[in-house]
Amino acid sequence: MAKVYREIQGGAARGLRFMLIASVVMVMLVISACGSNGNSGSKAAEGTDTAEAASSGNAAKSSVPAVLNYGFIGANKLNLPSGAEGWGFYKGIIQEELKKHGITEVKLTSFPNGPDQTESLISGRLDFGSLGDTPAIIAYAGGAKTRLIGQGSAHTVGYLIAKKDGPKTVKDLQGKTIATQKGSFMHRYLVGLLKQEGVTDYKLVHMLIPDATAALARGDIDATTNNGVQAIKQISAGYPLLDDSSKHPELLGSSVTVVSEDYLAKFPDFPKVWNEAREKALADLKQHEDEYYKFLAEIGETTPDIVKQVSPVGDLKDTAFTDDGLALLEGTKNFLVEEKLAKKDFQISDWQLK
């Protein structure tokens, strides 16, 4: 009987030990499983965060329209603007920068004058463009939904040229007929100059430069405004130069870049992207000045020597805005408001997008 009891007792002890070992194993398995699940959860969360970030970045990029519509002044066989912008497109520098942000095509459209370009911008046919300051200011004062994102140059010279055997001085224009592109920086220069010279009785007619050049040759008008290479060609052909705005710094023109608010809603970072691309193009241009002047000569169908005279590299601004450029814009705006060429006054800083 005692023997049987001892065998039962021994069996119970072995059973107890087995239960204890099994319990320990179960606990270890649970701990291991918890640890494994925790790691998996962490990795899954990390993967989810990464995927969400990538998705967000791709979504932002995909929201940018693949085609960008850009307008500029001056038709030419290369269909390119001048300045750092033109050089950047010519060399492909700007296109490469824009591709990084999902823009795969840039459509460039030339316009004969600023008012025509601003109409296309307002109607939505353009996303942004570079043009003279005067038509851009007049458009904004008239309610155009644009923002100013850059001022490429602030030394655009306007020329006042008379017909042969006609007026010899600005004062001789009293009672005469003068042509200009209404709404252009030359229009603002002309009105300002005549006011300074005390000329009050004159007839002002709107003509694009090619039409005005032909009218002057026929003697249909007494004088016209002009600029750039075309002005130098006229003067070289013997037409008298009555004045130019380099003698009146407050009447110089500047080139501005404006973007529609509709496009900004699609691509809020565009001003920064565009100005960085332009600055990169300008830096390259300065390393290849002779090639740049040949490029301008091809656009203007003239010689490098003439474009060096009318469009020197030193006139190009290497930042989006400068104090002297903004001061010129302010003076131009004030003049346009005073002369009732601009519908209402406004703060340049409200228009400007830094």
Residue 16: is its pLDDT beyond 60? no
High-pLDDT (> 70) share of the chain, %? 82
DSSP state letters, 280-300? HHHHHHHT-HHHHHHHHHHHH
Confidence band (pLDDT; 50, 70, 90) for 9?
very low
Confidence band (pLDDT; 50, 70, 90) for 13?
very low
What pLDDT is stored for residue 164 in this prediction? 97
List pLDDT tens digits, range 153-210: 999 999 999 999 999 999 999 999 999 999 889 999 999 999 999 999 999 999 999 9
Mean pLDDT of 319-337: 95
Residue 11: is its pLDDT beyond 90? no
Q: What is the pTM of this model?
A: 0.80
Cα–Cα–Cα angle for 342, 345, 347, nearest 5°?
125
DSSP secondary structure letter of residue 205 = E
The SS3 call for residue 211 is helix
CA distance 140 to 145: 7
What pLDDT is stored for residue 270 in this prediction? 98
List pLDDT tens digits, range 214-253: 999 999 999 999 999 999 999 999 999 999 999 999 999 9
Strands 158-162, 223-227: pairing is antiparallel
High-pLDDT (> 90) share of the chain, %? 80
Confidence band (pLDDT; 50, 70, 90) for 62?
low
Q: Which residues pair with 243 in a beta bridge?
A: 160
Residue 44: is its pLDDT beyond 70? no
Mean pLDDT of 88-114: 97
What pLDDT is stored for residue 61 in this prediction? 60
List pLDDT tens digits, range 277-318: 999 999 999 999 999 999 999 999 999 999 999 999 999 999
Residue 77: is its pLDDT beyond 60? yes
For the chain, the average pLDDT equals: 86
Residue 18: is its pLDDT beyond 70? no
Confidence band (pLDDT; 50, 70, 90) for 42?
very low
What pLDDT is stored for residue 348 in this prediction? 97
What pLDDT is stored for residue 15 in this prediction? 43
Report residue 60 CA to chain centroid gap. Answer: 21
List pLDDT tens digits, range 196-225: 999 999 999 999 999 999 999 999 999 999
What lies within 8 Å, CB to CB, of 245 at 6+ separation is: 157, 158, 159, 189, 193, 251, 252, 253
Residue 28: is its pLDDT beyond 50? no
Which of these, 262, 230, 250, 243, lies nearest to 324 by C-alpha position? 250
Instruction: Tokens 């190009």: give the residue.
Output: 316
